[in-house]
């Protein structure tokens, strides 16, 4: 079913008159139009018994149409009160909403107050759960974009490995990676590219800088690209020169933990059990205290979405879910290691989207 129709059906089933969707990721999901409107109003309005519309900054109206939106697009200029234009479009449809579904997790107070002023008798209800449930399961068209995004991320890691050399800084390597990605037609990375070396690998969210790479360092790449609106997210940790015994032990532990979790992916497995599969390997090897985050996160239009793969999430995996598997060990005195793949739950198991080798790569 068309995504917009699915929202309309949901409104009908639940007796909700209108839905007002404003987060850029959900606007893209429902309309095909991807944009960051900053503080300007960009929304998809969906009705139980009337035609939907998009309201967008006037300069972006042609882009909304070019993105494939077939319904009405209403533009507003910077000198307009966009909410009056919304009110008129709703009134033109002979709709007087008594109930309105919004994204409660994201809608800000100012916007809520404007809607509540326009429709003082309306009850507000959350659309978050429905949209999350829809976005949780990817269709074939979405999977094709995710596959391509992952393939480009694999290539980005390959470029990073090729660039490693004594005395080069983390930022110099990062620059080479992103330069190559631009040549491949990637306009955005999914998040700030991470290239960390030596002791800096022990920080899961470290910042690349001007540290010069030396023999004996582990180098950690964590990066992803956006391809036609869909994100990839890969981590590989490689060795510059021969690793010490301790570095190798940490690497092989993470390698086994990651593989165990990937191999356990199939419909019906609980997210929490998948987390435990990896965590048990790390704990049994004596590094449990250094694995300080969840196993993974859903991946799609957002680089972090549902399902969350953590130790208290009882949700069962379903065919079509896409998420990361990314155990790590962050040992402050030795090194940090993380290995991250993007995986799809298939009818009877798993498809791994990221394919860069996971056996320890020794460079130089
Ligand atoms: Mn990552
Ligand atoms: Mn990740």
Give residue 342 CA to ligand 1 midpoint distance, Å: 9
Ligand in closest contact with the CA of 325: 2
Give residue 298 CA to ligand 1 midpoint distance, Å: 11
Give residue 38 CA to ligand 1 midpoint distance, Å: 25
**The pLDDT value given to residue 150:** 98
Ligand in closest contact with the CA of 153: 1
Give residue 222 CA to ligand 1 midpoint distance, Å: 5
| Rounded average pLDDT over 4-19 | 98
**The pLDDT value given to residue 1:** 58
Ligand in closest contact with the CA of 305: 2
Give residue 59 CA to ligand 1 midpoint distance, Å: 35
Give yes or no for residue 171 having a pLDDT over 90. Answer: yes
User: Which of the four pLDDT bands, split at 50, 70 and 90, describes residue 43?
Assistant: very high
Task: Write down how long the chain is.
Answer: 364
Ligand in closest contact with the CA of 223: 1
| Rounded average pLDDT over 260-279 | 98
pTM of the model: 0.95
User: Which of the four pLDDT bands, split at 50, 70 and 90, describes residue 322?
Assistant: very high
The residues, ordered by sequence, that sit 6+ positions from 259 with a Cβ below 8 Å of its Cβ are 358
Rounded CA separation 269/257 (Å): 17
**The pLDDT value given to residue 91:** 98
User: Which of the four pLDDT bands, split at 50, 70 and 90, describes residue 186?
Assistant: very high
Give residue 113 CA to ligand 1 midpoint distance, Å: 37
Give residue 295 CA to ligand 1 midpoint distance, Å: 11
pLDDT digits (tens, 9 = 90+) for 214-247: 999 999 999 999 999 999 999 999 999 999 999 9
56 with 39: CB under 8 angstroms?
no
Going by C-alpha positions, the residue among 232, 239, 236, 284 that lies closest to residue 257 is 284
User: Which of the four pLDDT bands, split at 50, 70 and 90, describes residue 280?
Assistant: very high
Chain centroid to Cα 73, Å, comes to: 27
Give yes or no for residue 184 having a pLDDT over 90. Answer: yes
| Cα distances (angstroms) measured from residue 135 to each of 130, 161, 246 | 9, 34, 42
Give residue 234 CA to ligand 1 midpoint distance, Å: 5
Ligand in closest contact with the CA of 309: 2
**The pLDDT value given to residue 257:** 98
Give residue 324 CA to ligand 2 midpoint distance, Å: 6
Q: Which residues fall inside 5 Å of ion ligand 1, going by CB? A: 222, 233, 235, 340
Give residue 174 CA to ligand 1 midpoint distance, Å: 15
Instruction: Domains for the chain: give ranges and CATH numbers.
Output: 2-136 (3.40.350.10), 140-363 (3.90.230.10)
């Amino acid at each position: 079913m068309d995504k917009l129709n699915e929202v309309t059906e949901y409104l009908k089933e639940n007796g909700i008159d209108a839905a007002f969707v404003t987060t850029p990721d959900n606007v893209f999901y429902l309309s095909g139009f991807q944009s960051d409107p900053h503080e300007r109003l960009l929304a998809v309005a969906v009705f139980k018994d009337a035609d939907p519309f998009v309201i967008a900054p006037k300069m972006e109206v042609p882009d909304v149409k070019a993105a494939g939106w077939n319904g009405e697009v209403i533009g507003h200029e910077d000198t307009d009160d966009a909410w009056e234009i919304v009110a008129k479009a709703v009134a033109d449809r002979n709709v007087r909403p008594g109930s309105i579904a919004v994204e409660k997790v994201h809608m800000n107070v100012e916007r809520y107050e404007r809607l509540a002023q326009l429709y003082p008798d309306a009850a507000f209800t959350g659309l978050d759960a429905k949209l999350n449930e829809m976005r949780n399961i990817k269709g074939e068209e979405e999977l094709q974009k995710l596959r391509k995004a992952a393939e480009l991320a694999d290539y980005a890691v390959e470029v990073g490995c090729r660039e490693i050399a004594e005395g080069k800084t983390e930022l110099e390597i990062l620059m080479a990676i992103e330069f190559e990605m631009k040549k491949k037609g990637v306009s955005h990375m999914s998040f700030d590219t991470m290239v960390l070396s030596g002791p800096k690998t022990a920080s899961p969210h470290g910042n690349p800088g001007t540290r010069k790479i030396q023999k004996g360092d582990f180098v950690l790449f964590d990066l992803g690209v956006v391809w036609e609106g869909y994100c990839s997210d890969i981590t590989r940790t490689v060795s510059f020169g021969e690793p010490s015994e301790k570095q190798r032990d940490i690497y092989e532990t993470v390698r086994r933990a990651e593989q165990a979790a990937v191999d356990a992916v199939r419909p019906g497995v609980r997210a929490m059990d998948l987390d435990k599969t990896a965590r048990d390997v790390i704990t049994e090897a004596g590094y449990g205290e250094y694995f300080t985050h969840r196993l993974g996160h859903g991946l799609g239009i957002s680089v972090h979405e549902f399902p969350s793969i953590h130790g208290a999430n009882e949700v069962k995996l379903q065919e079509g879910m896409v998420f990361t598997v990314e155990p790590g060990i962050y040992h402050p005195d030795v090194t940090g290691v993380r290995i991250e793949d993007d995986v799809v739950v298939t009818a009877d198991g798993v498809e791994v989207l990221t394919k860069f080798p996971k056996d320890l790569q020794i460079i130089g």
